[in-house]
Amino acid sequence: MTRARFLRFLFFILLLPFALSAKALAAMVPQVFKKGKETRPITPVNEFYVEDYSGPPKSLRQGTANWKLNVTGKVDNPLSLNYQQILKRPSVKRIITLNCIGNPVGGQAIDNAEWEGIPLKDLIDEADPHFFTSTMILRAEDGYFESIPLKKAKHPGAILATKMNGEPLNLNHGFPLRLLIPGLYGIKQMKWIKEIEIANHSPKGYWHKKGWSKQAKVKIISRIDSPENNETLFTRQAVIKGIAFAGDRGIQYVQVSIDGEKTWSLAKLEKPLSPYSWVFWSYPCTFAKAGRTLIAVRAADQFSGIQQDDLRDPFPNGTSGIHRIEVQVF
Ligand SMILES: Nc1nc2c(c(=O)[nH]1)N[C@H]1C(S)=C(S)[C@@H](COP(=O)(O)O)O[C@H]1N2
Ligand SMILES: [Mo]
């Protein structure tokens, strides 16, 4: 071994325990709920996964009397809006799928809802940011903080939502106001938001400080929902079904393999509910023989090509690992 290689090796060994403990510190544990066998296009509010680092803030349990949304920092026209003023502004509806960056391959920490609220762009335009500004620093009532490039405020899907599936937001999902920006993982979709500071520096967010991605751009995912892993199928004919999602980049096609990934076939896609929604796919097939059968799925978006199976660990950037299941065919 050369000296340089030995030093690199030593460096790696010495850092290993730190890397492992950093990972433990960074544990992100979404709460998921039992669902029916069929995944529904719009997830009912009470089945929608919940994740936050310390629960809903107590201050909001009493209502919004002490709550305001402030747009501050390098702007010509700082804003301070109470709940009633927010409700009076023109609103839009957006169907947006939310996906936790910690969601494992085949995991359930991804759901879809129709959100209603005010376009983020309108609010930021009204505040009138100074010319050389680059960032929105976000702060929430529970102490959560994040930063997001200011250009994301121009995203046509970005809204500050007051409603979820036609009902006022509940406390778990961010009442009175939460942010949604298509294309980014859940860590950026701030609940209980109270301040947007326009700045030209970008401090680390809560999860970024613990080693998770700064950008949090969603990767392509696809999931098999039916049949289930280890299910026994009593006929050779089956319809394999599931979802695929690529943030705001649109799913172009989905492929299924039933022969241990030797060959792939195109699945049928349903029309997505919006440009920012998951897509339902199905693949009717006949299994060649009885016995243990491997099923896998992969998807492609409109821009970056086919889903890659290289990194299956969600930490630190989220995973696009291929979902594989095994069934017993009779
Ligand atoms: N204020 C605040 N917003 C937050 C969080 C948080 O801990 N505090 N967690 C984020 C994470 S990691 C995810 S995945 C989504 C989950 O949103 P949901 O609970 O509505 O599904 O909220 C995000 N917004
Ligand atoms: Mo998350």
Residue 37 falls within a domain, yes or no? Answer: no
Task: Tell whether 109 and 133 lie within a shared domain.
Answer: yes
The pTM assigned to this predicted structure is 0.93
Q: How far is the CA of 91 from the centre of ligand 1 (A)?
A: 22
What range does the domain containing 279 cover?
219-329
Structural element, H or E, at residue 255: strand 251-257
186 Cα to the center of ligand 1, angstroms: 6
- Cis before 176 (ω within 30): yes
In a domain, 3, yes or no: no
Is 243 touching ligand 1 by the criterion CB < 6 Å? no
Segment 309-313 long-range contacts (CB within 8 Å, at least 24 positions apart): 312/105
Q: Are residues 82 and 133 in the same domain?
A: yes
Q: Could you report the per-residue pLDDT of 53-107, keeping only the tens digit for each?
A: 999 999 999 999 999 999 999 999 999 999 999 999 999 999 999 999 999 999 9
Q: Which of 178, 209, 240 is the last residue in one of the domains?
A: 209
Cβ pair 197, 136 in contact under 8 A: yes
Task: Report the number of distinct structural domains present in the chain.
Answer: 2
Domain boundary among 188, 209, 230: 209
Place of tokens 């009493």: 62
What digits encode the pLDDT tens for the residues 207-234?
A: 999 999 999 999 999 999 999 999 999 9
Shared-domain flag, residues 196 and 246: no
Q: Is 199 in the same domain as 229?
A: no
CA 195, CA 73: separation in Å to the nearest integer? 10
Same domain, 158 and 230: no
Q: What is the pLDDT of residue 7?
A: 54
Q: Are 241 and 231 in contact (CB under 8 A)?
A: no
Binding site membership of 138 for ligand 1 (Cβ less than 6 Å): no
